[in-house]
A and B are shown apart, each in its own frame.
Chain A
Amino acid sequence: MSVAVHRLRATRGGIDRGALFVYAVVGVLVLVVGGILVSVVLDAFATSWFGGWLPDGFTDRWFRAAITDFDLPQILLATAFITLAVAAIGLLVGVPAAYVLARRRFRFKGVVQILLLLPLLLPPITYGIPLATMLYEFRLAGTAAGVIVANLVPALPLVVLLLTPFFEQIDPNLERAARVLGASPLRVFTRVLVPLAAPGVLAAALIVIVRALALFELTFLTSGADSTTLVVALYYAAFAPGIRPSQQIDAMAVVYMVTSLALLLAALRFVNPTNMVVRVRR
């Protein structure tokens, strides 16, 4: 009987008018986003697509053309190098900062916290233009180093924001116990903190990589010929339509899409989806 009551309650709490509204909005979003993605994929494999509901025929020639025309291997290499470097440096600098913010109280802590949050609240194009101008002055813009430096500005605060609550929920008594039992600070770090923090750090790394891959503005403002990432190359291709057939641009989009979604799938195994957007908390 209790099962029956439970089921009744579950259905009552499940499908109601509000839930139908949820499904309706989600349905429209799925139709639009799904439609966009499917038409991109179909067009990328189309010989041509005039007038019909479906392409006139299928081919893989646009992908082969993209490899030579866009110098795809070079773009993929630059993208991998830049996103991985951003994540690595972001973690290296951000993890200790998050640990200190979670564990210590000090003067001007509020100021430091706001300072480390601000780059996430302002859109990249706003601070990107002065930043790129400054990087040009230092002759860093146009190089991979410049792109990495620019992408660190939102990546580091993201690491701090994601990992501070994570360190807060690790019981400080574990570290104290280890110290009392005679472990050196280094040993506490490698044998207690690192194993406990690893899942959070891994999740933060994946989120930073996914976001760095999609972040257009900063790379667009600072990249040069050999530091162009996938998303910027896609923008340049789509910016000048007519020069290239749409299928070739869409082939590029498919490469970007597959990379991005594969990383997202990996990230979602470790991260709650709501953590993928910035949460302002105090």
Chain B
Amino acid sequence: MSAPAARRDAVQSAPAPARRKRRLDPTLLFIAPAVVLVLGLFVYPFVYGLILSFQPYGEHEADGALGSYLAFFGDPRERLSIWNTLRLAVPATVIDVGLALPLAYRLRRPVPGQRVITALFVIPLTLGTVLIAEGMLQFFGPAGWVNKTLLAFGLVQQPVQFLHNYLGTLISLLISDFPAVFLLLLGYASSIDPALDRAARVLGASWWQRTWRVTLPMLLPGIAVAAALSFVATFSVFPSAVLVGNPAGETRVIAFAAWQAAYEHFDYSLGSAIAIVMGVIELALVGAALSLRAGGYRRMRTEGAR
């Protein structure tokens, strides 16, 4: 806390009447609608869904309060959706972060055309997964340009089956999610003071030492957040798993299972249970990444003090 801020705080909290007056600060009412809206439309639905998930419906009703959860984890076909999702989300996250990290690392110092490059990355983000997946139907199709090129160069004898399978969904995830990971990491990378690198260089540190001991530790919190958000985004893959995947088989992902339960079988209890399972896993991951971030800063500070 800076000195003037501390002083202001002391002045405001000193006399008791002033404090009571401060509690009635009418400006605070400005934030009330936002809080009410998020509580009513985000927190309450989760509570509602949680309660609903413990009120099994139809054939699961006899299994007691946990009926919907038992139906999800007990049914091998439903359980498989977790594995189907992880099989997509883990490789997509690893590839995204693995490719975006060196890119963002290099772009701390601008290259010619930097602004154009960042703007280019925004395009797939803006268009969204549905358009990318829909467009892939033509481009990656059996008579599309990708297969034509591969055939023309003799790299394959038969058109490659890119669509309506695992590969198609993975490709669409990479296209949709990589730009987000890159822009997030670029934000973190460009906020690192270049003077630190210069100081290390003046003090005789080699490129490896500067990378491993200076820049990467400072980037670590950003990497954790980018990886967590990327995993959470790919873990909830839905439209592309349907449009370019095989939602009846190998890309029957967890979000699709939740949607199918609620909207095709009208089992809102099971749908909510699956959504709650997803939400808990995602919240745990995001929470872990954010706390790792705090831990990273702490460690760096104590190391610096030593």
Contact = CB atoms under 8 A, between A and B. Distances in A.
Interface of A: 13-15, 18-19, 21-23, 25-26, 29-30, 32-33, 35-37, 39-40, 43, 49-51, 53, 93-94, 96-97, 99-101, 103-106, 112, 115-116, 118-119, 121-127, 129-134, 149-150, 152-153, 156-157, 160, 210, 214-217, 220-221, 231, 234-235, 237-239, 241, 246, 249-250, 253, 256-257, 260-261, 263-264, 268, 273-274, 276-280
A104 B9 CA distance: 11
Given A125-B258, A276-B183, A279-B184, A93 B34 contact: yes
B258 A131 contact: no
Contacts of B109: 13
Given A157-B38, A250-B138, 10 more contacts: A14-B112, A26-B121, A29-B179, A36-B139, A96-B30, A112-B35, A126-B282, A235-B130, A277-B187, A278-B229
Interface of B: 9, 25, 27-28, 30-31, 33-35, 37-39, 41-46, 48-49, 52, 99, 102-103, 105-107, 109-112, 115, 117-139, 143-146, 148, 175, 178-180, 183-184, 186-187, 190, 225, 229, 232-233, 235-236, 238-239, 242-243, 255, 258-259, 262-263, 268, 271-272, 274-276, 278-279, 282-283, 286, 290
Nearest to A53: B148
Contact of B137 (A130, A160, A246, A260): A246
A130 B52 contact: yes
Contact of A39 (B131, B138, B187, B276): B138
Contact of B128 (A22, A39, A150, A216): A216
Contact of A131 (B45, B187, B239): B45
Nearest to A119: B42
Interface of B is mostly: helix
- Give the 9 A-B CB pairs with smallest separation, nearest first: A130-B49, A123-B236, A96-B30, A214-B128, A97-B34, A18-B106, A36-B135, A129-B275, A130-B45
Contact of A122 (B99, B184, B279): B279
Contact of B38 (A15, A119, A134, A246): A119
Contacts of B41: 131, 149-150, 152-153
21 contacts: A14-B111, A22-B111, A26-B121, A29-B120, A39-B145, A50-B143, A100-B30, A104-B28, A122-B232, A122-B279, A126-B255, A126-B279, A126-B282, A127-B279, A133-B48, A216-B238, A217-B239, A246-B138, A256-B131, A264-B126, A276-B122
